[in-house]
């Protein structure tokens, strides 16, 4: 799936300027993980707003790979955006120290949510909006933490698959080290997205593109050579994570209910 990177970068840049400007802001804060998604989001916003209007936040936990921090630092150095390093270890461990032992998934969610707390707090400090860095593959598979890394004000890359992000990253000339390494949530040592998910981004993006964008039926896709079990697994993942993509369910009482029949854009009044 080839992407017209020049066109996409231009639209993303206008998107950031327009949605930010309408809401009365000129700055963004963005959490830099050292990975490719947040690097691309940071490059797009630095180009759109100027580096002086981008606050990068590097938010390591004690088990985060030092390589991640070094790679995030490369982005900061190359773009000359403002930045701050804030350890989230104290926040996360402070909570869990008074709890019975929690598994890695809970700890990972807490890390993502601790970062969210810092990002939204810093957005207020800097009169900025939080830039989202979830891509379309993650959003569809639900591979993210609700109210954690999925939380943001505006997201320029949420309609781009992971394989689109790879292409855009090359076009934007983000540091080679980030381009080369395996995608990871870096919630524990040696974690790898593709190992954890059990398929490659190339495989799943091709399937998602056909299923979601082209609305090709599951039967047709199996006929065309996708493994039935793979198709079923992905469809289940999409359905099973729908709650992460929607507002909480509200029990309807009145003729007009906020999430049911109160139809106004977010841009209402901007």
Partner 1 sequence: MKYTVALAQISPKLGTLAGNLPVHLQAIEKAIQAGADLVVFPELSLTGYLLQDLVSDIAINPYQAPILKPLLEKCRGIACIFGFVEVSSRFNYYNAAAYVADGEIKHIHRKLYLPTYGMFDEMRFFALGENLRTFHTPFGEMGLLICEDLWHPSTIFLHAQDGARAVLTISASPGRGAREEDLLQSSESWINLLKATAQFYTIYNIYVNRVGFEDGAHFPGGSMVVNPSGEIVAQGRYFEEDLVVVPLDLEEVRRARLFAPVLRDERLDLTIRELARIINKRNQS
List residues near partner 1 by CB under 8 A. 1-4, 7-8, 10-11, 14-15, 18-19, 22, 154, 262-270
Residue 228 tokens, joined = 């039935």
Identity of the residue, 2 or 224, whose beta carbon is nearer to partner 1 in the bound complex: 2
Identity of the residue, 17 or 233, whose beta carbon is nearer to partner 1 in the bound complex: 17
For residue 270, count CB atoms less than 10 angstroms from its CB and return exposed for 0-12, middle for 13-18, buried for 19 or more.
exposed
Distance CA 84, CA 118 (A): 11
The three-state secondary structure class of 174 is coil
156 neighbors 41 (Cβ within 8 angstroms): yes
Identity of the residue, 19 or 193, whose beta carbon is nearer to partner 1 in the bound complex: 19
Distance CA 7, CA 196 (A): 33
Identity of the residue, 190 or 255, whose beta carbon is nearer to partner 1 in the bound complex: 255
Side by side, the strands of the sheet bearing 27-31 are 82-85, 54-58, 27-31, 128-130
Strand partners, 28: 54, 129
95 neighbors 69 (Cβ within 8 angstroms): no
Q: How far is the CB of 155 from partner 1 (least distance, A)?
A: 8
Identity of the residue, 100 or 255, whose beta carbon is nearer to partner 1 in the bound complex: 255
Identity of the residue, 43 or 61, whose beta carbon is nearer to partner 1 in the bound complex: 43
Q: How far is the CB of 204 from partner 1 (least distance, A)?
A: 18
For residue 189, count CB atoms less than 10 angstroms from its CB and return exposed for 0-12, middle for 13-18, buried for 19 or more.
exposed
Angle, helices 66-79 vs 36-49, to 10°: value is: 20
Identity of the residue, 104 or 258, whose beta carbon is nearer to partner 1 in the bound complex: 258
Q: How far is the CB of 181 from partner 1 (least distance, A)?
A: 26
Q: How far is the CB of 178 from partner 1 (least distance, A)?
A: 23
Identity of the residue, 8 or 178, whose beta carbon is nearer to partner 1 in the bound complex: 8
Nearest 5°: phi and psi at 128? Answer: -130, 170
Supply the DSSP symbol for 204: H
Supply the DSSP symbol for 85: E
78 neighbors 47 (Cβ within 8 angstroms): no
Distance CA 66, CA 49 (A): 29
Q: How far is the CB of 15 from partner 1 (least distance, A)?
A: 6
């Amino acid at each position: 799936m080839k992407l017209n990177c020049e066109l996409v970068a231009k639209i993303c840049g206008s998107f950031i300027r327009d949605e930010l400007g309408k809401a009365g802001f000129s700055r963004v804060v963005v959490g830099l993980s050292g990975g490719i998604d947040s690097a691309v989001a940071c490059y797009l916003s630095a180009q759109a707003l100027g580096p002086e209007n981008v606050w990068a936040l590097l938010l390591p936990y004690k088990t985060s790979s030092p390589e991640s921090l070094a790679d995030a630092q490369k982005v900061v150095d190359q773009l000359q955006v403002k930045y701050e390093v804030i350890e989230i270890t104290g926040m996360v461990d402070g909570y869990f120290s008074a709890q019975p032992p929690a598994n890695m998934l809970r700890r990972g969610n807490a890390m993502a949510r601790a970062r969210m707390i810092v990002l939204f707090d810093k957005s207020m400090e800097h009169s900025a909006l939080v830039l989202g860095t979830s891509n379309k593959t993650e959003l569809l598979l639900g591979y993210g933490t609700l109210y954690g890394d999925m939380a943001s004000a505006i997201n320029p890359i949420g309609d781009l698959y992971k394989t689109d992000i790879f292409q855009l990253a090359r076009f934007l000339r983000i540091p080679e080290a980030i381009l080369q390494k395996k995608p990871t949530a870096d919630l524990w040592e040696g974690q790898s997205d593709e190992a954890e998910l059990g398929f490659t981004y190339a495989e799943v993006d091709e399937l998602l593109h056909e299923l979601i964008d082209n609305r090709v039926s599951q039967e047709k896709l199996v006929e065309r050579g996708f493994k039935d079990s793979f198709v079923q697994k992905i469809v289940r993942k999409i359905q099973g994570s729908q709650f992460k993509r929607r507002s909480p369910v509200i029990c309807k009482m009145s003729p007009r209910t906020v999430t049911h029949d109160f139809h106004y854009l977010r841009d209402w009044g901007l």
